[in-house]
Amino acid sequence: MGDHWTTIESDPGVFSELLERMGVKGVQMEELWSLDEDSLHSLKPIYGLIFLFKWQKEEDGRPVAADFEEKGVFFASQVINNACATQAIVNVLMNRPELDIGAELAQLRDFTSGFPPEMKGLAIGNSECIRSVHNSFSPPQPIVPEERDDEKGEAFHFIAYLPVTGALYELDGLKPGPIKLADCSEDDWLPKAAAAITERMGRYAASEVKFNLMACIEDRRQKYRREVAQQQHLQERIRAKLGNSAPPAPPADAAAGAGAAEVPLPDDPDTLAARLAESEGEVDRLQAALAMEEERRRQWADENIRRRTDYIPFAFQLLSALAEAGQLQPLVERAKEAHAAKLEERRRQQQQGSS
């Protein structure tokens, strides 16, 4: 099977760049802080939800969907360590035919068509492209630490929720197959998925607070650019009607909303002028949102560079230079004194609080 897979950080900036480097276009990951209707609506279109939680052994009597292969559900078992996050995302992408998932994933989906879940998992584990992109977010480590999920040795797990052919599924790579949660449509699957995730969090609430939820969504930059182009086309139509000139041709570029039905415009000039002003304000809002998203992407890129950087040689050279200059030991002594002072202050506050 594939070579070693490292643990990577659960972060939308990491997973969004991971998607891009695997060849996926027009998709990003976004962290969710709430499952309320407004929060979910603001991120639409949502292609799937990825739920991270601290794994604990429990009995699950829910049956696996017996007809999932006939329904066209792509499901890969998790057969490699440390890859459950990437695999959960891949499970979402493979079940979304409307997405441009790139040549590598498209070829993998075609190649594994008809394979059982275990073989699909092995195929993902043996994908050099997926493994190398996944591992690229871990810095080179001259001192290899013992493998564990965190300092307590806790295991964390990712599962996916998404609709496929009229049903909502839970895709957990540690289960023998997908679990059908409910019948649904593209319009109503999110509230049902939110209810399932909320119920799961409730079961763990007494002993566990470590949860993370991300949504697989359309690239915000692509969405904002498309909506700006649509508003600009609307403004051209309004100005043409106000000037009694021929309307502009419908946009031919999909990024500008090609193929979308054009809403009829009113005849009243005052109403048209109001609509024009409203559209100009919307363009300003969208361009500001686009600029913020572009800045966030630059921040993600900087953070990911730092994640890949091995700072141990720098720290070693710095300490060596300080020692040669005779400055290291005084700094150590000052740090010890500062630490002792903090401990003494904490002890004094505790005594005052108990008196």
Catalytic residue among 134, 157, 184, 216: 157
Pair 168, 182: CB distance under 8 Å: yes
Choosing from 84, 134, 216, 233, which is the catalytic residue?
Answer: 84
Give the whole-angstrom CA distance, residue 169 versus residue 163.
6
Q: Are strands 179-183 and 211-218 parallel, antiparallel or unpaired?
A: unpaired
Kindly report the three-state secondary structure assignment for every residue of the chain.
CCCCCCCCCCCHHHHHHHHHHCCCECEEEEEECCCCHHHHHHCCCEEEEEEEEECCCCCCCCCCCCCCCCCCCCCCCCCCCCCHHHHHHHHHHHCCCCCECHHHHHHHHHHCCCCCHHHHHHHHHCCHHHHHHHHCCCCCCCCCCCCCCCCCCCCEEEEEEEEECCEEEEECCCCCCCEEEEECCCCCHHHHHHHHHHHHHHHHCCCCCCEEEEEEEECHHHHHHHHHHHHHHHHHHHHHHHCCCCCCCCCCCHHHCCCCCCCCCCCCHHHHHHHHHHHHHHHHHHHHHHHHHHHHHHHHHHHHHHHHCCCHHHHHHHHHHHHHCCCHHHHHHHHHHHHHHHHHHHHHHHHHHHC
**CA–CA separation, 188 and 77 (whole Å):** 27
The answer to whether 157 is a known catalytic residue is: yes
Buried b (16+ CB within 10 A) or exposed e, 240-278: ebeeeeeeeeebeeeebbeeeeeeebeeeeeebeebbee
Among this protein's residues, is 233 annotated catalytic?
A: no
Which residue numbers are catalytic? 84, 157
